[in-house]
Homo-oligomer: A and B are copies of this chain.
Amino acid sequence: MNLVLISIGLGLLAIVYGFVTSRQVLNSGAGNERMQEIAGAIREGAQAYLKRQYTTIAIVGVVVAILVYLFLDMPRGGAPISAIGFLIGSILSGVAGFIGMNISVQSNVRTAAAAQSGLQQGLTLAFRAGAITGMLVAGLALLSIAGFFYVLTAVMGLPANDREVIDALVALAFGASLISIFARLGGGIFTKAADVGADLVGKVEAGIPEDDPRNPAVIADNVGDNVGDCAGMAADLFETYVVTVGATMVLTALLLTGLGDLLIPMMALPLLIGGVCIVTSIIGTYAVKLGKSGKGATNIMGAMYKGFLLTAVLSIPAIFFAMWLALGDMNMVIGGENLANVDPGAPLAEEGTSSIAGFTGWSLFASSMVGLALTGLIIWITEYYTGTNYRPVRSIAKASETGHGTNVIQGLAISLESTALPTLMIVIGIIVSYQFAGLMGIAYAATSMLALAGMVVALDAYGPVTDNAGGIAEMAGLDESVREKTDALDAVGNTTKAVTKGYAIGSAGLAALVLFAAYTADLAEFFPLLDVDFSLENPYVIVGLLLGGLLPYLFAAMGMTAVGRAAGDVVKDVRNQFANDKGIMEGTSRPDYARTVDLVTKAAIKEMIVPSLLPVLAPIVVYFAINLVAGQANAFAALGALLLGVIVGGLFVALSMTAGGGAWDNAKKYIEDGNHGGKGSEAHHAAVTGDTVGDPYKDTAGPAVNPMIKITNIVALLLLAALAGGGA
């Protein structure tokens, strides 16, 4: 039980880091009165939005918690353990988003102030703010599972592989996912409706620059960065962490039977890996410093990479240490014995036979290295597709010369193409980690990917802070040189934002396999007499794959439409304000920012509900529909196939949208840097169109696909448990 407590301790360390660093950030200068006034308006808007969003989600959450209690806890006649797990997951997911957003709205104005002193000062402040969010996300996620697991097993004395413990962990993951899809989608709709709406009516119609204080939607646009790119992203990564680590623990409990004394260490190992990587992530944050050579974006990106690389390299011995601590003997064979690369004379961890091939500590370690390598490769590929230095972004910029149409065609071509390398890497990652240690290998590759979440989130959360800082500098009329510095920081933010999304969806590819394995293991346990045919030769499997593949398309369509509709409302509101008060354009009277923020808030909350419920209801509807037509065995087969269909379909939709959107945005930035005619040229107008198209792609529909995939899988697991409890 020591290992779980160590993990809890390391989770607390992340919280301490966050607390100490936030003191440092808050103690730095907050700029002049005008800057503070603007930052205050942004803060108020963001807090008001989040309050309303969480109130709405709370209603859904309470209903679902009751359903979890009724269908999972009550049939067992026990305590409401799963319902409590669900609540822990959902509340902490909300807390992660809330804290991240609060740090962000405090740091934006301070970053603008710091950028007055220099690029390094601005970078330090913005990155520290991102690091606080990163460590809090990783720390809270680790604490939630480790703490809950500790209470269930050590305090309540339940066996670690007890069905109640497994279901409770799944319910915790469900809570995290459900909140995160609402937060990702609601925040994504808010931020892009405000952004697109502000651009359309400001840049295009009124001919005023971005972030001009005369634009009534300008505060809403800046609020959006915080509630979407920061709070939504934080909830999303919290969810990804909890689901991946939780699924690895659940799979351990389900597959590795007869482990004896090794059960607890094996279930605690994923937690411990997460814990030691918090330490390496904290160390890595201190390496983010500008180099002496290089300039602008390249130099800033280089500083980020230094931090990430240090974390990744230090994580190699750290993960080894965690495994050695948990297993004692790295050569000991765990599980079955039919793995080729096991030394025949090695000691065996268990007496009985296990349902999976055997592996050793070394093979788990090798699988974890696959996860680290995959993380690095995905970051590198994403930078290639979204960075201004490479072919993809430049080809979009060049295509802008011949107009809006060719810009969008080339952007779509790049977004389709950008799926290829990450998919190949994921496929190779699956094959290699499976060769090392079977399904557990895939689970450990995913876990070690997520163990770096603290650092990856730090890179991402820095983006909205700099974006806001630029807005505040513009609105407060600071010197042009300040805006140049925040713009340089922001360009890198576009790439790091895309990186996190590629990373999250890539890890989802692995995690979904783990969840599917949990689904089949559960099925075998709950319905041992049912002969479910998961073969591709079963037409109901094809039906499931097709329906699963459809979900991300339908979901993305709903997200895109919602942004278009809400942005239209913004345009009307701003036009209305301009028409009713001529003083706004003349700069003599101030627009009613709060009215626009309120309008976008209402629209985003309204629009997020239906798409978010799609992945919750789809598995249930498909199961009962197929059950009616072709019986329970085929219904389970179709449901299982749906889980894989949603990942096969969703992976491509998410990868193409997030990388494509990032490429469009940076193609515009590349032109604004003076290429192909620069600002105001025809090419620039075309690039602005591409950027607008990319906005809902990369910040609304694309990233929300990740929690959507997980929810579909988790609902299926809970459905199984509920059906089994309901009298099977």
Give the B-binding residues of A (Cβ under 8 A): 196, 199-200, 204, 399, 402-406, 408-410, 412-414, 416-417, 419-420, 423-424, 426-427, 430-431, 434-435, 439, 442, 509, 513, 516-517, 520, 534-537, 539-543, 545-547, 549-550, 553-554, 556-558, 560-561, 563-564, 567-568, 571, 626, 629-630, 640-641, 644-645, 648-649, 651-652, 656, 688-689, 691-693, 696-697
Alpha-carbon separation in the docked complex, A535 to B637 (Å) = 10
Q: If A409-B693, A420-B554, A693-B405 touch, does A541 touch B536 (CB 8 Å cutoff)?
A: yes
Bound together, the chains give a CA A73 to CA B640 distance in angstroms of 42
- A539-B431 in contact given A560-B412, A689-B689 (Cβ < 8 Å): yes
Q: Provide the residues of chain B in CB contact with A560, threshold 8 Å.
A: 409-410, 412-413, 416
Contacts of A557 in B (CB 8 A): 413-414, 416-417, 420
User: Could you tell me the distance in whole angstroms from the C-beta of A708 to the nearest C-beta in chain B?
Assistant: 14
Report chain B residues within 8 Å CB of A656: 553
Q: Could you tell me the distance between the alpha carbons of A568 and B571 in the complex, rounded to whole angstroms?
A: 35
Determine if B406 and A536 form an interchain contact, defined as CB atoms under 8 angstroms apart: no
Residue among A412, A420, A556 with the highest chain B CB neighbour number at 10 A: A412
Assess whether B536 is in contact with A689, with CB atoms less than 8 Å apart. no
Whether A404 contacts B689 by the Cβ 8 Å rule is yes
A-B contact pairs, 12 of them (CB 8 A): A405-B688, A406-B568, A409-B563, A409-B696, A410-B560, A412-B697, A413-B557, A416-B556, A509-B546, A513-B542, A517-B537, A546-B651
A561's partner among B413, B509, B641 (CB-CB below 8 A) is B413
Chain B residues whose C-beta falls within 8 Å of the C-beta of A649 in the assembled complex: 549, 648-649, 652
Given contacts A410-B564, A644-B545, contact A405 B692 (CB under 8 A): yes
CA distance A708 to B543 in the complex (A): 21
Contact of A554 among B416, B554, B645 (CB under 8 A): B416
Q: How distant is the Cα of A414 from the Cα of B571 in the complex, in angstroms?
A: 21
Give chain B residues whose Cβ lies under 8 Å from the Cβ of A558: 417
Cβ contacts under 8 Å, A629 to chain B: 431, 435
Q: List chain B residues, Cβ under 8 A from A435.
A: 629-630
Q: In the complex, which residues of chain B have a beta carbon less than 8 angstroms from the beta carbon of A644?
A: 536, 542, 545
B561–A410 CB distance below 8 A: yes
Q: Which of B403, B513, B540 contacts A204 (CB 8 A)?
A: B403
- Chain B residues with Cβ below 8 Å from A539 are 430-431, 434, 439, 442, 513
A185 to B557, CA, bound (A): 27
Q: Which residues of chain B come closer than 8 Å to A691, judged between CB atoms?
A: 405
Identical copies in the complex:
2
User: Considering the chains assembled together, what is the distance between the CA atoms of A640 and B541 in angstroms?
Assistant: 14
Measured between beta carbons, the chain B residues less than 8 angstroms from A554 are 416-417, 419-420
Q: B645 to A648, Cβ gap below 8 A?
A: yes
Contact A413 B553 (CB under 8 A): no
Q: How far is the CB of A400 from chain B (nearest CB, A)?
A: 11
Rounded to whole Å, the gap between the CB of A649 and the closest CB of chain B is: 7
Closest 6 pairs (CB-CB, A-B): A405-B692, A413-B560, A417-B557, A416-B557, A404-B689, A534-B536
Q: How far is the CA of A38 from the CA of B413 in the complex (A)?
A: 35
B409 touches A408 (CB 8 A): no
Q: A536 to chain B: which residues have CB within 8 Å?
A: 516, 520, 534-536, 541, 640-641, 644
The reply to whether B416 and A651 contact each other, CB–CB distance below 8 Å, is no
Q: Which residues of B contact A416 (CB under 8 A)?
A: 553-554, 556-557, 560
**A419 is contacted by which of B399, B410, B517, B553 (Cβ under 8 Å)?**
B553
Q: Which residue on chain B has the smallest CB distance to residue A548?
A: B648
CB distance from A638 to the nearest CB of B (A): 9
Q: For A404, what are the chain B residues with a Cβ–Cβ distance below 8 Å?
A: 404, 689, 692
Chain B residues whose CB sits within 8 angstroms of the CB of A413 once the complex forms: 557, 560-561, 564
**Known contacts A413-B557, A431-B540, A645-B648; can you find 5 more A-B pairs with CB under 8 A?**
A196-B409, A406-B564, A420-B557, A431-B539, A431-B630
Q: Give the chain B neighbours of A408 by CB distance below 8 A.
A: 408, 689, 692-693
**A542: nearest chain-B partner, CB-CB:** B513
Q: How far is the CA of A563 from the CA of B412 in the complex (A)?
A: 12
**For A442, what are the chain B residues with a Cβ–Cβ distance below 8 Å?**
539
- Once the chains bind, are A549 and B200 in contact (CB under 8 Å)? no
Taking each of A200, A413, A414, A536, which has the highest tally of chain B beta carbons within 10 Å of its own beta carbon?
A536
Instruction: State the Cβ distance, A385 to closest chain B Cβ, in Å.
Output: 12
Given the known inter-chain contacts A431-B543, A535-B535, A644-B542, please indicate yes or no for A692 contacting B550, CB distance below 8 A: no
- Is the CB–CB distance between A412 and B693 below 8 Å? yes
- A688→B423 CA distance, assembly (Å): 34
Chain B residue numbers with a CB within 8 Å of A434 are 539
Residue of A420, A564, A697 most packed against chain B (CB within 10 A) = A564
**Chain B residues near A651 (CB-CB < 8 A):** 546, 549
Report chain B residues within 8 Å CB of A564: 399, 406, 409-410, 413
The interface centre, meaning the residue of A402, A540, A640 with most chain B CB atoms within 10 A of its CB, is A402
- A590 CA to B549 CA, complexed, in Å: 52
Nearest opposing residue in chain B for A561, CB measure:
B413
Q: How far is the CA of A413 from the CA of B520 in the complex (A)?
A: 35
**Beta-carbon contact of A550 and B652 below 8 Å:** yes
CA distance A641 to B435 in the complex (A): 19
Residues of B within 8 A of A517 (CB): 537
Specify which chain B residues have a CB less than 8 angstroms from the CB of A693 in the assembled complex: 405, 408-409, 412
* Contact of A571 (CB < 8 Å), options: B402, B423, B547: B402
A204: chain B residues within 8 A (beta carbon): 403
Instruction: Write the nearest CB–CB distance from A367 to chain B, whole angstroms.
Output: 13
CA distance A626 to B644 in the complex (A): 20
A644 to B536, CA, bound (A): 8
- In the complex, what's the smallest C-beta–C-beta distance from A531 to chain B, in angstroms? 12
Cβ distance A245 to chain B, nearest Cβ, rounded Å? 20
Q: Which of B410, B424, B535, B543 contacts A534 (CB 8 A)?
A: B535
Q: A568 touching B420 by the CB < 8 A rule?
A: no
Verify A423–B546 contact, CB threshold 8 A.
Answer: yes
In the assembled complex, the Cα of A630 lies from the Cα of B427 at a distance in Å of 13
Determine the chain B residues whose CB is within 8 A of the CB of A561 once the complex forms. Answer: 410, 413, 417
